[in-house]
Amino acid sequence: MIESFGVSDPGCVRTNNEDCFLLLPSAGLYVVADGMGGAQAGEHASRLAVETLRDTIEAAAGPTSPDDLLDAFAKANQRVMKEADANPAMEGMGTTLVAAVEHEGDLFVASVGDSRAYLFENGKLEAITEDQTWVHEVGRRLGLDEDTLKIHPMRHVLTMAIGVSGQLRVNHYHVHPSPGAHMLLCSDGLHGVAPDERIEQVLGGDDSLEAKCRKLIALARDFGGPDNITAVLLKTT
């Protein structure tokens, strides 16, 4: 069994929220997306992607499988690209996408871009997903140190996103959480702003999932909240 809760907040700087999330316990599906694009394109892209995952998973026969989720990612990519092609105002829109589905007692996680999934067990926060960013895929391989990467002009550049290429690369992972473990799905408005040790402090408390989610949002805002912030928490029982 999975307990879940999610919160999204525009942050302290932006007036609109291009993040979108979904909790669909009936299908064991949990999603976070962080849109990008001018005008309203970013929030449109993230909403389209999340809706496509929901519709595809709900239409699948039988229990949700990893293949169902990967198929849903492919359909989300096609749908966002099609909408962008059909509407000049939406040209260049895209979105990150990270999702988890319950499967045979485990969690199957898929991701595109730099929204992340973490596992919190035994007081330790561990990243499950790998960012599809210039920093992770190029900068670190060039041997640049972490202090340089934190201020590098390419630090926010994604190497993959939903809606930007027909050649979609989806990273995926099988996770076997222990009873009582937490999984955190979040946009970079949280993980790119709040230190891991402060996130660990929140997750290690005795609060409800709702209270923990709201504390994570407040934490990111305390560190300036420069971007939209979304946190979805899952707890295995």
Give 85-119 pLDDT, tens digit per residue.
Answer: 998 888 889 999 999 999 988 999 999 999 999 99
More confident residue, 237 or 136: 237
Residue 197 is predicted with a pLDDT of: 97
The mean pLDDT value for 191-196 works out to 95
For the chain, the distance separating the N- and C-terminal CA atoms, rounded to the nearest angstrom, is 5
Residue 191 is predicted with a pLDDT of: 96
- How many structural domains are present in the chain? 1
State which residues form the domain around 229: 2-236
What are 111-154's pLDDT values in tens digits? 999 999 999 999 999 999 999 886 666 656 656 556 655 655 55
Q: How confident is the model at residue 202 (pLDDT cuts 50, 70, 90)?
A: very high
Q: How confident is the model at residue 1 (pLDDT cuts 50, 70, 90)?
A: confident
The mean pLDDT value for 45-63 works out to 94
Cβ-contact 103, 63 below 8 angstroms: yes
CATH of the domain at 227: 3.60.40.10
* Beta bridge mates, 5: 233
Mean residue pLDDT across the chain: 91
Letter string b/e over residues 80-91, b meaning 16 or more CB atoms within 10 A of that residue's CB: bbebbeeeeebe
Task: For residues 186 and 2, give the distance between their C-alpha atoms in angstroms, rounded to a whole number.
Answer: 17
Q: How confident is the model at residue 61 (pLDDT cuts 50, 70, 90)?
A: confident
**Which three-class secondary structure string do you get for 86-140?**
HCHHHCCCEEEEEEEEEECCEEEEEEECCCEEEEEECCEEEECCCCCEHHHHHHC
